[in-house]
Structures are given as C-alpha cells and as structure tokens.
Amino acid sequence: MRSVAVVLPLFAFLLCGCELAPESPQSNLTWAIAVHGGAGTIDRDAPRARLQAYEEALTRALVKGRSMLADGAAALDVCEAVVRMLEDDPLFNAGKGAVFNERGEHELDASIMDGSTMRCGAVAGVRTVRHPISLARKVMTETRHVLLAAAGAEQFADAAGVERVANDWFDTERRRRALQEVLGERERTGLLAPRDRRHDYGTVGCVVRDREGRLAAATSTGGMTAKKWGRVGDTPIVGAGCYADAFAAVSCTGTGEEFIRHGVARAVTARMQYGGQSLARAAHGVVHGVLRPNDGGLIAVDRFGNIATPFNTSGMYRAQANSSGLFEVAIFGDESAEGGR
C-alpha cells in the first residue's frame, strides 16, 4: 500500500511532468486579448491630451478585438485586424507614422504566428506596403516560406494583391523632427545608439486566445529612429519579437537587437514548456531577469487566457480585455508585482 501511495503521485508527476503549466483555466473565461503600442521612455509629464490620444487609440483597437472575439472570430483574424488598425494610426510607429531610418526613409517589419498550427509569416524592410501585417499573413498562407525581405517582398505584395503606397505616404512631421534630433545628438556625442528610447516607441502588437482556445500573435513596426539602412529588428524574427505555440502567444517591443540576442518571445514559452512556469513567472523572468533595464517589454496570453504585460521601461502603451469583463488600458505602472505568481 505504502509503495502505491508513493509511486502513484510519482507516476502522475512523470506523466504530466513539466509540460503542464501550473495555472488552471480561469472560470468561464472563453477569450482574452492584449494589445501594445510600444514600450520606451514615455514622459509622465507629457500633455494630458497627448496621453489621452494614445489611450483612445488603444481603446478603439481593444473594442474592435473584443467585438470580433465575442462574435467567435479566430485569433489570427483578430490579431491581423487589430494590428491593421494600429498601422493606420499615425500615433504609432508602424505603418503610417513609422519612424525614419538614417536616410530619411521608412523600412517596415512585421510578423504573425498561429500557435495552433505553428504556421507563421513575416516581412522585413518593406518600403511601400501599407499594411505589412497583412503581407506577413500572405507569406504565411500563400508561400512555403516564413520571411520575405525588401524588393522581393514588395513584388510578392503585388502578386498577392496587398496594397502599396509611396514611401513618403508614411511620413509624419513628428517623426521627421525625431530623426533630426537623433541625428543631431549623434553628431554631438558620437554615440551611434542613444539609450534614450523616447523616439522609438510605438511598435504595435496583439496577442489573442480565441473561443476555440487557439493562440495567435502579431507585431508590426517601423523599427528604430535613425536606424541604419537595411537594418532588420526583432519584429519580423519569429521567436524574437513575435511567437505563438500551444502554451502562449507573445508580442514584443523594445531594442530589437536585445530581443534577437535572447530570443525573447520563444524564451517565454520555452520556460512554460520545459520549466513548467506560469505565464506570469516566465514573462516576468525574461523581461526583468534576462533583458536589461530600458530594453522594452512584451504582451502575452496563455492557453487559459491569462495575460501578462511586463516591461522594464518607464512605460508601455498597452490594453487588455477578456470574456469575463476585464477591459483595461494603461501606459505607466510597475508590472513587477506579477512576478513569481
């Protein structure tokens, strides 16, 4: 009898092992969504109207995602639709309103991933595609590749019927001033990479758990102000700036090079898959334990609909909702309270 008492729990543990996350399904929760509009040095003393404009834009995106999910839409469709909305909003550094590279042009990156099938698609360095996220999805569904770059991606956009615009269609005065400031600072200090990320934030992303339990993630960006011509960040690198599998969907924002070095998005789900960590613990551990202060943040949702939004910058534009009535929009706030749960 005694040996059965010992062996049974051991057997159960080995059977379930670390593959099962410790968090249980939230009662009655069917869908969950989180959205971000970038992490960086966000000024708490910025004019209230400006912060409010961001809050309203995030609210509109969240309302869109919420109504699609309530109607039973698929995670992937919601991610694409929400990111398209944010790409069209000049407030954000994605699509219209994207930052300028050092040549005074725009090069856009985007990726999308379906956690239920592990299919994914991405585009890098596109200059004339109005909605890079939709082109990324076409790469996923209409090619046998994962990532298309630059001119080849644009030619594919024509073949796939994805709208193209002139490069200067993405221009905004605010981003042009930011470019001048960064280039001016570079000249004065000789520093190629200012740590001050005031001019970068605005990358957009969305993660979703839909009614069927499917997970999806999408990220889209103009990159970093005054980046080198041809520079590709983490956003179109599956596993770095975007990832979704059976455990969680993750979308990142921050200094892309760091997110690539540490494979941040996949690192979160790997901690859950191989280490049995909860989403909150895995996401917090990567953002506060692997990345350095001011590198950025991420949004993530797990298969039970739990959401995590850790960041190590002064702020991250973000919003979250679920089928149990949660509806929250936030810019500042210390997320570290989530850690270790």
- In angstroms, rounded to a whole number, what is the distance separating the alpha carbons of residues 172 and 210? 35
Q: Which positions from 2 through 41 interact with ligand ASP, judged by CB under 6 A? A: 38
333 in the Ramachandran plot: left (φ > 0), alpha (ψ -120 to 50) or beta? left
- In angstroms, rounded to a whole number, what is the distance separating the alpha carbons of residues 192 and 190? 6
Q: Which positions from 38 through 77 interact with ligand ASP, judged by CB under 6 A? A: 38
- In angstroms, rounded to a whole number, what is the distance separating the alpha carbons of residues 288 and 265? 14
Using CB under 6 A, pick the residue from 111, 253, 277, 309 that binds ligand ASP: 253
256 binds ligand ASP per the rule CB under 6 A? yes
Minimum distance from residue 110 beta carbon to ligand ASP (Å): 10
Stretch that binds ligand ASP, among 64-72, 100-108, 113-121, 247-255 (CB under 6 A): 247-255
> For the window 207-236, what string marks contact with ligand ASP as x by the rule CB under 6 A?
--------------x-xx--------xxx-
Nearer to ligand ASP by C-beta: 65 or 233?
A: 233
251 binds ligand ASP per the rule CB under 6 A? no
Minimum distance from residue 316 beta carbon to ligand ASP (Å): 10
Burial 73-109 (b: 16+ CB within 10 A, else e): bbbbebbbbbbbbbbebbbbbbbbbbbbbbeeebbbb
- Name the one residue in this structure whose structure tokens are 């809050």: 55
200 binds ligand ASP per the rule CB under 6 A? yes
Burial of 143 (0-12, 13-18, 19+ CB in 10 A): middle
Q: Are the C-beta atoms of residues 162 and 254 closer than 8 Å to each other?
A: no
- In angstroms, rounded to a whole number, what is the distance separating the alpha carbons of residues 340 and 201? 27
- In angstroms, rounded to a whole number, what is the distance separating the alpha carbons of residues 242 and 277? 19
258 binds ligand ASP per the rule CB under 6 A? no
Minimum distance from residue 331 beta carbon to ligand ASP (Å): 15
203 is catalytic: yes
Nearer to ligand ASP by C-beta: 116 or 221?
A: 221
Minimum distance from residue 54 beta carbon to ligand ASP (Å): 14
Stretch that binds ligand ASP, among 44-52, 82-90, 136-144, 254-262 (CB under 6 A): 254-262
Using CB under 6 A, pick the residue from 203, 269, 278, 322 that binds ligand ASP: 203
Residues 6+ positions from 284 with CB-CB distance below 8 Å: 308, 310, 335, 336, 338, 339, 340
Catalytic residue among 128, 203, 253, 313: 203
What are the residue ranges of helices labelled H in 161-231? Answer: 173-189
- Site residues (vs ligand ASP, CB under 6 A): 38, 200-201, 203, 221, 223-224, 233-235, 241, 253-256
Query: So which residues are the catalytic ones?
Result: 203
